[in-house]
Amino acid sequence: MNHSFRLPVLFLLTLTVTCCWTTDVLAQRARPTIKDRLEKDDANDDGKVSKGEFSGPDKLFERLDRDGDGQIDIMEVVGKTPMRRPENVRNSPPSSPLGVEVKRDVVFGKGGGRDLKMHIVLPESKPSEPLPAYVWIHGGGWQGGSKEGGINQVSRIVTEGFVGATIEYRLTGEAPFPAQIEDCKCAIRFLREHADEYGIDPDRIAVGGSSAGGHLVALLGTSGDVKELEGSGGWAEQSSRVQAVVDLYGPTDFSKFVTTKGFESHNRDGSPESKLLGGGEVLGNDEGIRRVNPITYIDEKDPPFLIIHGTNDPVVPANQSQLIHDALESAGVETTLKLIRGAKHGGREFHDPEIRELITTFLKKHLQPSE
């Protein structure tokens, strides 16, 4: 065979195989899996995608949101059984974000006869003086969500000179209101009781939360002296008052919520708001609405509020944040309302550097050590 002919043929074969392989790899890279897409949409890295975070069509979100709690659990979508890992990796504790130490599953009280737990997030370097605390309360329609996503929420704040905590509370499948706020108040009392152990200044505790968590932190802020909401989880000698509130798109007035145009379905029996109140239609349950509304308890002794809401929120109308802002202002309470034009229920806009800086500046301003 002519060697001068064979060399070009081999070159062409090699080039063809290489091009086919490269095209196939690029095609695979160009077709991200549903897991890839959901992880990209998960702006706060909590393993769940809210409707505001989701970049796909609404109908697909409704199909993937299997339990109807307003968020897509990534592991439920891609399969509940994780990829098998070596035994030593599988049994090791989850890693902590850089710059912080996480004390996991600290029991802080009792609710419904069982232990209630929180994760406490500490700076890696032990400070010389007690630090203010920032406590995160998760959302999920009072019927879902967990404390896990709060680790990332508070870790950035911890690196700015805080102690962080992210707590669990009883969901509506376990108990209706006021169980949720009772558990949150118990967590605040626990942190005061154990302030020395965790390096916390007990006079400087702030809370933050989104959606249902936003409702609960607003309620913590306005009901500091309401004994009927304290519960019996423990540490009764301590106060559940907080010194600052970061409320992200939380419901604040249920009667106005469920009568807002486009949100009337929240009035029906079986809605998240109905379940929180123990069932039945929301309207007509006047006493339940009175007790659950943060607006009910507002007075001049309430702490400063930072309230953030998207103007296109399809889950909680933005009027809920405007209502509590106006009521706080009328009572003489310091309040800041930030409406994010075009933002939905959560999403990337709430993690923009401007919003993060707004929250950090607010917390530092109002949690300065007393002279």
The domain locations on the chain are: 3-78, 99-366
pLDDT score for 54: 73
Q: Cis bond leading into 178, ω under 30°?
A: yes
CATH topology (fold) of 99-366: Rossmann fold (3.40.50)
How would DSSP label each residue in 65-120? -TT-SSEEEHHHHH-SSPPP--HHHHTSPPPPPTTEEEEEEEEEEEETTEEEEEEE
Angle in degrees, 0-180, between the axes of helices 179-193 and 212-222, rounded to the nearest 10: 60
pLDDT score for 63: 73
pLDDT score for 236: 98
**How many CB atoms sit inside 10 A of residue 199's CB?**
16
pLDDT score for 318: 99
pLDDT score for 77: 66
Low pLDDT (below 50) residues in the chain: 9-10, 13-15, 17-30, 44-45, 79-92
Q: How far apart are CA 46 and CA 9, in angstroms?
A: 54
Indicate the length of the chain as a whole number: 371
Burial of 131 (0-12, 13-18, 19+ CB in 10 A): buried
Second-level CATH architecture of 3-78: Orthogonal Bundle (1.10)
pLDDT score for 76: 56
Q: How far apart are CA 175 and CA 155, in angstroms?
A: 30
Burial of 222 (0-12, 13-18, 19+ CB in 10 A): buried
Structure tokens at 146: 């967990």
Place of tokens 């308890």: 297
Compute CA distances 87 → 80, 91, 92, 293, whole Å: 18, 6, 9, 48
pLDDT score for 121: 98
Q: Which of 359, 369, 364 is nearest to 203 (CA)?
A: 369
pLDDT score for 147: 98
Q: How far apart are CA 331 and CA 156, in angstroms?
A: 32
pLDDT score for 65: 72
Burial 340-354 (b: 16+ CB within 10 A, else e): beebbbbbebbeeee
pLDDT score for 370: 73
The whole-model pTM stands at 0.80
